[in-house]
Chains A and B, each alone.
Chain A
């Protein structure tokens, strides 16, 4: 029984909504986007044929509102809904609501969602189906005594998990028997808070495993195949960062075994459509069922690249009741693909999400490079949604080629306006452990430790480049304002050369033009830089015979963001004086000059301050910036708090002027 979909509502946002709309368009299906207040100008809204506003910015008012989404589908005549991932994608009630409204839900049946959404239930089902599971206890009896007894039976180390859990919450690793009781208590309380369900399971902890998952597909007739595996071992805070296909240590025999197990898992719940069976792969080659995701995965592109199939298309076909038309033998894996997730977050501060305007977002294109993104220059990363903003994928004949292409692609990716993990991704891709294909789930912790990834402070060469760039932009600005620009006279001074100073933190960089070529001196170091091209946010300098490419964003005449091949940094030229911004001087509204960590607030409400008094200290780009009072007065309200991240132009505090 097949029914062709004419109009597809995509109940999601960001890159995945764009991704689904793209395939719908290819298949001749009209698309309906849904959007919240915050997303009124988002790319997915512009991209879709139609768009429905479904409520306020918080997800609870929009993207999680089943009633509004069903109403929008009805209003726009959508005969199917694709849930993407996250939000309502694994919500059995939503799937049921679609059924009730006579709308095709592009996903598995309610039963599969229901079982796989519960760790304990799914594990019981998998054990019954003969799928290898981590030895453990997932019984109904939740008394402490039983849990402790079962844990001891399994043997240390064990993992205590919330049955309804995900994303690492309500999860406790226990090394010693004496710690079990306390771990249960904590996990239970976390589970209750996070999921409203304090059911726990106990499992043997597999140390330093790989996270390997199998992509399965089933059509409505029960024909089920697998499309190979993905290795998603590189994770931070239990979120995937780098994903690849195939798994570097995979063998045909192991793949066949894991594939078989994954198909069994899918069949056990009468699965239809795209699903992912996640396994832990131990060092000894044993693998254990972890969970099944009953939706399209974020990292599906790596599978698409090595199999050549469009997974969204297959999903839609399955939803229409068409046969897959692919046998297991048809599935051939060719080449290697690695995906990097670009998050708006601060790798130096425990990967805390960062929000703000997107001043500039540039991505590369070319052979073996795929970019799935949900933001654009001029847009914003709002605090309401997931901080993943784009996926950059490298594909090549070999793993090394894919890795090299991904590094190149990332080195040409720039995001300005929010903190992001690009430099971290580049660093991780370049780590020998990853390069050799040896990364396990312990990789990030072992490589970066507690402190996370610390981007190195700009060195003399970066400061010289920044100054040369600001110099060239200043020259271009002057030329565009001048009546008669004279190319032959640029950079010429008839007497002693008058260099232009740039002050970054405490460092002075002086730039002199000698004709076209610039000389930037940073202390004792002198850099000769030839600006070959500076326009449209792209710059190329020649230095000692090599070309250095940069992406830049000039937020103002003094404030520049630079993305080099390996580093993203922002600098403010303070040569214009301590109160360089006349417009802001003197009104007592103290705003953050740039993104950074508010280290300290030195005043309290009610304090009397004088112009020039230090009010707060902001740390950005490893430099400490003192924030000074711009008027005499009394500190009125303080908005910032010490230790918090703060965005450029955020109000830190307000000084009330003293009345004469």
Chain B
């Protein structure tokens, strides 16, 4: 394996200025995360008065101490339900992630009921749906700590109801696949939310506060006139002893979580995933933390993506594939935390030889059963007569075809630009990556804003010329500025991550850790044979 020689001068002016720009982006991400935590924390007195733990305190008790926790969809719903960047709360009223519970890697979903009582949000349910898909793909037990006001009737939108049904269907699918689903009912879960415990394999209900009913007391009164006692209607004590919706009755939140941990422990889940230990390894020669500094935060400044690879691979060692052919497209093989994996990165647009090289490389990886990591930093496929004649469409298409059909784990990172079909060929969001994360500086879209605006101005100029009228320069300037603004806004990783067009935003310096965690997750999934059934486990 060749050891990469970095050309980055740590501590140089350029390094420091790039680092400081990247650190600003990271700080922006952390501030947004903290904004949600702080907002939720404001409700602590309410939870304490009810004898409850806050959602964040529930998560603290659920997770094993000192084990890794990969947060998913940390930016979900940012700028979506609330378009004001100064007030919009990322997270979608959900805390989602992959962490360890009693030594078992689990997909964890905590309703952040400190925020609008955990009412459903547009981004929140999209994130939850995708998290379920990740759980299914990676065969992860699914734990949901429930306390949700359900749909917000004040902001009703029919699509939310229509689409959200998939959340319950996924629970049914998981049960049939043999993936345990577990709910701790901490608070109310009414109407559709009642199916959350209803559809889960294991339900722990917390006394006094846990509540599940198809219609809450208010709706029952509105619909039938019946004046009901809420605990009689759907209290956990009733469900545990009368309806049979609940399997385990807990004294309080902490006890409920302790029961959940015991249930997971009792599964013996890891006893059925025999695996070989990964090979021993040395950490990268170049500190992964120097990614901030080594990389210019704006994609318009070119740099060598191998500088990133050297900060991800064990020992900063990797073997380049066809380094002299299609040199702007870098393909490499090496190990991350002892696990073999391939990487593809861009040192510019993808040209025909880069595309053919990538397509061949993907097929080889598939054949070798080697996970592929995609480091997106491309403005797309090459355009122009020369490239069209060289078969850019054909080669680009076949690269996209190859990436679509490979059967190995695919892990993508938006590290710079990811534009146009280049995003597809590099295994973008719609290419079913096992995991996909954004750096806070990254930008995505059909093309760059300036390019789009210029394109539309060109069209206007051609149209004016054809009509033989002079170009309305003021209108054209206005249009150009508008297009640039729209693109600029939507290109931002914060925006696209808010739309759940990735699995979350990460600190670029953590990329090796995220990658190691994801590779191990995929490896574990591959080694695990699920005991599936046809209809899911019934609660009779």
Contact = CB atoms under 8 A, between A and B. Distances in A.
Interface string B332-369: 00000100000000000000000000000000000000
Contact of B34 (A478, A492, A496, A511): A496
Contacts of A612: 251
B255 A580 contact: yes
Contacts of B253: 577
A461 B317 CA distance: 44
Interface string A503-532: 000000011010000100000000000000
B277 interface: yes
A326 interface: no
Interface stretch (A35-43, A137-145, A379-387, A479-487): A479-487
A576 B68 contact: no
A477 B265 CA distance: 11
Given A484-B520, A488-B283, A479 B65 contact: no
B523 interface: yes
B281 to A, nearest CB: 9
Interface in A456-505: 470-472, 474-475, 477-484, 486, 488-496, 498-501
A484 B9 CA distance: 36
Contact of B71 (A495, A500, A511, A513): A495
A492 B103 contact: no
A531 to B, nearest CB: 9
A540 interface: no
Interface in A353-387: none
Given A478-B67, A577-B258, A501 B37 contact: no
A484 B66 contact: no
Contacts of A471: 65-66
B255 A576 contact: yes
A582 B252 contact: no
Contact of A577 (B99, B105, B251): B251
Nearest to A495: B71
A578 interface: yes
A585 interface: yes
B67 A498 contact: no
Contacts of A585: 251
B259 interface: yes
A125 interface: no
A575 interface: yes
A245 to B, nearest CB: 50
Contacts of B70: 494
A582 B255 CA distance: 8
B65 A577 contact: no
Given A480-B103, A582-B258, A475 B66 contact: yes
A518 B254 CA distance: 23
B270 A496 contact: no
B517 interface: yes
Nearest to B251: A579
A490 B66 contact: yes
A659 to B, nearest CB: 15
Contacts of A474: 64-66
A481 B71 contact: no
B250 interface: yes
Contacts of B74: 494-495
B307 to A, nearest CB: 20
Nearest to B505: A495
Interface stretch (B80-88, B147-155, B401-409, B506-514): B506-514
Interface string B509-540: 01001101100100110010000000000000
Contact of B63 (A482, A484, A500): A500
A556 B506 CA distance: 37
Interface residues of A, number: 41
Interface residues on B, range: 35 or more
Interface string B52-87: 000011011101111111110010000000000000
Contacts of A475: 64-67
Contacts of A470: 65
A489 B66 contact: no
Contacts of A492: 68-69, 510, 513
Contacts of B230: none
A31 to B, nearest CB: 48
A477 B257 CA distance: 18
B298 interface: no
B391 interface: no
Contacts of A480: 103
Interface string A66-93: 0000000000000000000000000000
B251 A578 contact: yes
B63 to A, nearest CB: 6
B133 interface: no
Contacts of A513: 65-66
B262 interface: yes
A500 B60 contact: yes
B286 interface: no
A653 B57 CA distance: 34
B45 interface: no
A486 B66 contact: no
Nearest to A477: B103
B100 interface: yes
A494 B506 contact: yes
Contacts of A577: 250-258
Interface in A570-607: 575-580, 582, 585
Contacts of B97: 494-495
B244 interface: no
A478 B255 contact: no
Contacts of B60: 498-501, 510
B393 interface: no
Given A494-B71, A494-B507, A486 B520 contact: yes
A472 B256 CA distance: 23
A511 B67 CA distance: 12
Contacts of B117: none
Given A495-B71, A513-B66, A577-B257, A489 B61 contact: no
Interface string A593-629: 0000000000000000001100000000000000000
Interface of A: 470-472, 474-475, 477-484, 486, 488-496, 498-501, 510-511, 513, 518, 575-580, 582, 585, 611-612
Q: Which 4 A-B pairs have the closest CB atoms?
A: A481-B103, A577-B254, A577-B255, A475-B66
6 contacts: A475-B65, A484-B275, A489-B516, A511-B65, A577-B251, A582-B255
Given A494-B69, A575-B254, 16 more contacts: A471-B66, A472-B66, A474-B66, A475-B64, A481-B265, A484-B523, A493-B69, A496-B33, A496-B37, A498-B69, A510-B60, A576-B258, A577-B257, A578-B254, A579-B251, A580-B258
